[in-house]
A and B are shown apart, each in its own frame.
Chain A
């Protein structure tokens, strides 16, 4: 696909006619849809979102207080685009890719307006190492060189919308992102930076079906409802149920190579927390600070809504850019509901015909376009890369029947349903194991078989069955009390409790338990199964349920979660369980 930058010479001037919050109307103005324009005497950044007769309607990314009718509007002729190149990682941006650190330098602790700031540092020099030589043929998307950006190697590519050609000259050495590092036979000169319009997906050669899980270190996710690398997941839940904590856990511990975290219309302090915490956390895989693989987009709830609308596109474009280098990228968007609300707010200012609950009729289309930008792909350069997208959803009143949740569930493959009942009793992660699902289980089956254990898939099904059975039994218990249950079922209840309390519950704030690798997940589940098996044999031998439930050795199992080198302890518990049951059987 070809994306052309529009003719940057249509530097047309218009006049403001009306200002109504973030939406303004200009007349005598030549513009195309989604052109970036400068509004008013202070040249606030805006984007054309509607053209109607004489009027051009513009959403403004900054506060419009004090702007008057009659002030000028200037069309830049460019689309809303981001700067892509070395310097993205470790950065924190607002919704339109202005680095927040630069904004602090330029305007102090509070976000004022009328300040523009480029997305990349333009004065910084990077050590560019060419990977092609004179005479080599390159095409759009080809990798021509690399830069050590952080501990991550940044691949410098031919922009995907260019046709490429034969390399005429290429340099090595220290350059800024504006310096030409490579010239093609046809005279095209290439720098380390490219611009890409955020609303247009970056092209790929081919989309593949994901077959490898994104390992997150979270037991309920990896163990029961895994997401694939290149997959999509939604995590809906009422306020305070754990969307942000789960997303941050994924940002910290998932085995992606690059993480893009979008705080879309959420809290300022949450972004600060990421900013203070991440530089001190170490990637369990590389041993490097987590911040070095992370890009943050923070357009908090009190920042302009139009920029909130744009933040999601800014984030996904950056994610695609690293995917094109051949990396596995994961993107978290917290919260897609705030993005949808920004669309609703703008739409209602445009006096568009509202759809369900006031959301614009195109809500479903926008959501699916966004999630479609996820995927495992063959890049234009011929490598493999992926973008996994995990979106938080904040349904009003925690009611999943509302439009944003429903339209999201139609698209995504994994559903992690947060449940206020669980979070209220501090069962974390408060993901409901009965309502959640993953449609990747089949495709990931072989991977678990191969990489974890041939037993894993059966163990998983067993655990799900026990949990399902427990839910049915609980209904009976609510009517007659637990003592009235048949004996085998009393033990099912006990085993289910162990699965919930030992396997499913995971404390994000415990230094050890915060991350649990697949091996440990398997070992924990196996130990619970061992208890279930021992109980079954014991019961057959005449041991009573209360003796089984009262057995002591199993009570040590929860402690395993908090121990880093858990193996010796776990083996000891297994032996003790065995011995205890042998005694019980003998006495029966």
Chain B
């Protein structure tokens, strides 16, 4: 393979190479430094006189004397069944002291888009055992449902609890977890690894670790390696794969860094204008394919800079994913775990996975009614602070009470508490029954007669 020594410029993670033969767009590049270290990169722009290479590692050590080798192919990832139980670097190299991965296949890490016509509608209810998810923001197999959190909040524990407790009732099909860390601290990574070990989940997991002190640009490929692995496990080996990506904020920062190095016209807050498309090329790699057994379910985690949900990172994510679970600092301060604020949270695929034949016929309406009650009660808190409880009508007082109950009993639960969906829904009815029945306008009479604790068969009429 020909080696060029025609580097003309190095700027941030970008290396400019002159006078090459025709080089393909997107090709994998190896740059050999003076001490023989090989650094990997990818072609971002190619023309007859200049090739721009984005290096996935630090450019320290690269200079005019470095050799550049173009491999003639796009970046591929070796995949195989053996990967389960392995810990790899953010660049895909084993870091657990074990042997190299024996590739059964080498797959392009960009991953082609699933043809929408080939997709099957996700509709299998995943019970996470967390009421605010199962009851009001239901996760289904093949969904991409991110956790919007912020610095200092327990999103990692929530993700772990989901990973640990998730099950599809009655299913015995094989499952796996793919965990990709991008720029998280060693301590956080240890927290994940310990929990995986404690619960034996590691055997069924593939872990990619790009830590805070690893090269930032490597983060660009980490999620793609993870998803390529997940797709392989799901669509070729028929497993149900849960992918956890954390922290997507660090990924976006790396993206911004490259944009700046390329001197692109920046979009909002300095992030590249194509960030929506770029994030979509990650998040859309979830789903189910008609006629195939497995599925890819994604739980990306991101920390909202300044707790701001309109910041481009959560904003663009929310526009692509199928809902979001929002972790709230206020609930966390009140000592409520998991501090999930259901109001801005949403699961868009919920309706496909709940109701008769999935969970229970009353699910949707119980959820809607709780939302309405909690939203109104929550608003009243502001009012009470100004006018005092006495100025409230009877109805308002009850709603206020309901909001408190909802947080203390429905939202709050233990880190190891695994509630069944029936428990969750019954709990919902219990709380709703504290409101006058005529206020339950979202629920039709038949369901009230069947499930309302005061009306259902066997209940003692007042």
Contact = CB atoms under 8 A, between A and B. Distances in A.
Q: Do the two shown chains form a genuine complex with each other?
A: yes
Interface of A: 17-21, 25, 63-71, 92, 100-101, 103-104, 108-112, 238-240, 263, 265, 267-269, 271-273, 275-276, 298, 300-303, 305, 338, 341, 344-345, 348, 354, 357-358, 394, 396-399, 420, 423-427, 477-484, 501-502, 507, 509, 552, 555, 558-559, 562
A269 B277 contact: no
Nearest to B268: A396
B398 interface: no
A482 B382 CA distance: 14
Given A66-B74, A100-B115, A481-B391, A426 B26 contact: no
A379 to B, nearest CB: 32
A239 B318 contact: yes
Task: State the majority secondary structure of interface residues on B.
Answer: mixed
A100 B74 CA distance: 26
Contact of B324 (A103, A240, A357): A240
Contacts of A100: 115-117
B203 interface: no
B22 interface: yes
B24 interface: yes
B160 to A, nearest CB: 25
B445 A559 contact: yes
Given A358-B273, A424-B343, A426-B368, A301 B280 contact: yes
A226 B59 CA distance: 59
Contact of A348 (B115, B273, B290, B388): B273
B312 interface: yes
A18 to B, nearest CB: 3
A396 B344 contact: no
Contact of B116 (A300, A394, A397, A427): A300
29 contacts: A18-B47, A65-B26, A66-B25, A68-B22, A69-B48, A70-B22, A103-B115, A109-B118, A109-B292, A110-B112, A265-B280, A269-B119, A269-B322, A271-B119, A272-B116, A273-B121, A275-B117, A302-B280, A302-B284, A348-B273, A358-B267, A424-B375, A426-B372, A481-B392, A483-B391, A483-B392, A484-B391, A501-B441, A507-B442
A265 B445 CA distance: 41
Nearest to A424: B343
A104 B73 CA distance: 25
A532 B266 CA distance: 55
A516 B292 CA distance: 39
B393 interface: yes
A94 B414 CA distance: 47
B276 A301 contact: yes
B277 to A, nearest CB: 6
Contacts of A345: 273-274, 277
A235 B396 CA distance: 33
A263 B113 CA distance: 15
A18 B274 CA distance: 20
A69 B22 contact: yes
Question: 6 shortest A-B CB distances, which residue pairs?
Answer: A481-B391, A425-B375, A397-B310, A301-B280, A18-B47, A65-B26
Candidate in A67, A302, A396, A559 with the most chain B CB atoms within 10 angstroms: A302
Interface in B98-141: 110-122
Contacts of A341: 273-274, 276-277
B48 A18 contact: yes
B24 A68 contact: yes
A481 B386 CA distance: 9
B344 A424 contact: yes
Contacts of A394: 319
Contacts of A423: 346
A479 B388 CA distance: 11
B115 A301 contact: no
A127 B243 CA distance: 51
Given A69-B47, A239-B319, A425-B376, 20 more contacts: A19-B25, A64-B26, A66-B74, A70-B48, A103-B117, A109-B235, A110-B115, A240-B324, A267-B322, A268-B287, A300-B284, A301-B276, A301-B280, A357-B267, A357-B268, A397-B311, A425-B375, A478-B382, A558-B442, A559-B444
B252 to A, nearest CB: 14
A420 to B, nearest CB: 8
B46 A68 contact: yes
Interface in B365-395: 368, 371-372, 375-376, 382-383, 386-388, 391-393
Interface in B61-109: 73-74
Nearest to A353: B265
A64 B372 CA distance: 49
A338 B276 contact: yes
Contact of A66 (B27, B44, B142, B311): B27
Contacts of B44: 20
Candidate in B25, B27, B315, B441 with the most chain A CB atoms within 10 angstroms: B25
B441 A112 contact: no
A269 B383 contact: no
A204 to B, nearest CB: 33
A482 B320 contact: no
Contacts of B376: 425
A481 B383 contact: yes
B122 to A, nearest CB: 6
B364 A482 contact: no
B299 to A, nearest CB: 16
B24 A67 contact: yes
B323 interface: yes
Contact of A396 (B25, B142, B312, B368): B312
B161 to A, nearest CB: 24
B113 to A, nearest CB: 4
Contacts of B322: 267, 269
A107 B85 CA distance: 33
Candidate in B122, B348, B376, B382 with the most chain A CB atoms within 10 angstroms: B348
B386 A267 contact: no
A478 B386 CA distance: 8
B45 interface: yes
Interface string B274-297: 101100110011010110100000
A427 B441 CA distance: 12
Nearest to B279: A301
Given A424-B375, A483-B392, A268 B383 contact: no
B404 interface: no
Nearest to B20: A69
Nearest to B110: A65
Contacts of A104: 115, 117-118
A9 B432 CA distance: 74
A480 B48 contact: no
Contact of A268 (B113, B266, B343, B392): B113
Candidate in B364, B375, B392 with the most chain A CB atoms within 10 angstroms: B375
Contact of B284 (A65, A109, A301, A399): A301
Contacts of B371: 425-426
Nearest to A110: B112
B246 to A, nearest CB: 21
Given A19-B47, A303-B113, A345-B277, A481 B121 contact: no
B278 to A, nearest CB: 10
A397 B25 contact: no
